[in-house]
């Protein structure tokens, strides 16, 4: 008997509550989900939406990535609350700093990736999380970055253009009906990155609400990181 993979369904994985220690002395709370019976083939380090607008490690796309992709795509998924952010997992120390001191938070997550020898790390940012990926991701050894609904409110044109010298892959999902940055403007503002893959998602909105949009986002993530796992199953056990 199988179940449909949708909504809050959580598939089998090893799930570990983790803490991150930042270089400026804060403790951040999070979770690492890895495949139950095999080694992960790659690692998603997720960066959540704006905490002052309700973003946290359980923001639905990131929670569903952790719930599904260890089982369906053999990926490790690291989620954590940036400074001052709360979720059912707990509250991270410190206070929201508008994306400035959060560079310590990104570094702490990447420290854990190195300490655990997690393979092929990718930064996956959503909204505010894309700003952190763009501003600080080049400081770390990442295979690529995936930007979901980038608003480009905090990352400067210079910080974007600096990625042109990186070997990291850049995949950008831009919703057709985004509240902040739509596909045509995104192509203009990312024009300094000719090798970036900009994917305009027809019918998409900033918050990616609904199972159709969730599946599209997770499919695009897996297409970039582990295409051998496609197509993602819609039932479990997979038929």
Query: What does pLDDT average to in each consecutive run of 10 residues of the chain (239 residues)?
Result: 95 98 98 98 99 98 98 98 97 98 98 98 98 98 98 98 98 98 98 98 98 98 98 90
Structural domains present in the chain: 14-226 (3.40.50.1820)
89, 81 contact by CB (below 8 A): yes
Residue appearing with tokens 């709360």? 86
173, 204 contact by CB (below 8 A): yes
Query: Residue 167 gets which letter from DSSP?
Result: -
Task: Give the dihedral sign, CA 173/179/182/185.
Answer: negative
Nearby residues of 85 by Cβ (< 8 Å), 6 or more positions away: 48, 51, 55, 56, 57, 91, 92, 96
The pLDDT value recorded for residue 197 is 98
Nearby residues of 185 by Cβ (< 8 Å), 6 or more positions away: none
The pLDDT value recorded for residue 239 is 64
Residue appearing with tokens 């959503």? 126
Task: Give the dihedral sign, CA 96/102/106/112.
Answer: negative
**Beta strands at 90-91 and 75-80: parallel, antiparallel or unpaired:** unpaired
């Amino acid at each position: 008997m199988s179940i449909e993979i949708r909504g809050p369904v959580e598939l089998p994985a090893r799930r570990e509550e983790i803490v991150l220690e930042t270089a400026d002395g804060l403790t951040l709370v999070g979770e690492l989900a890895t495949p139950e019976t095999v080694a992960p083939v790659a690692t998603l380090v997720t960066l959540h939406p704006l905490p002052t607008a309700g973003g946290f490690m359980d923001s639905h796309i990131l929670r569903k990535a952790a719930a599904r992709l260890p089982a369906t795509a053999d990926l490790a998924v690291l989620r954590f609350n940036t400074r001052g952010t709360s979720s059912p997992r707990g509250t991270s120390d410190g206070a929201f700093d508008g994306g400035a001191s959060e560079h310590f938070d990104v570094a702490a997550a990447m420290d854990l990736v190195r300490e655990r020898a997690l393979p092929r790390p990718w930064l996956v940012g959503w909204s505010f999380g894309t700003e952190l990926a763009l501003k600080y991701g080049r400081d770390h050894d990442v295979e690529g970055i995936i930007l979901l609904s980038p608003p480009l409110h905090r990352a400067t044109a210079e910080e974007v253009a600096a990625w042109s010298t990186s070997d990291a892959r850049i995949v950008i999902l831009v919703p057709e009906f985004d509240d902040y940055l739509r596909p045509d403007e995104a192509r203009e503002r990312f024009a300094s990155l000719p090798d970036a893959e900009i994917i305009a998602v027809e019918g998409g909105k900033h918050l990616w609400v609904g199972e159709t949009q969730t599946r599209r986002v997770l499919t695009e993530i897996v297409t970039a990181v582990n295409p051998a796992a496609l197509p993602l199953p819609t039932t479990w056990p997979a038929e």
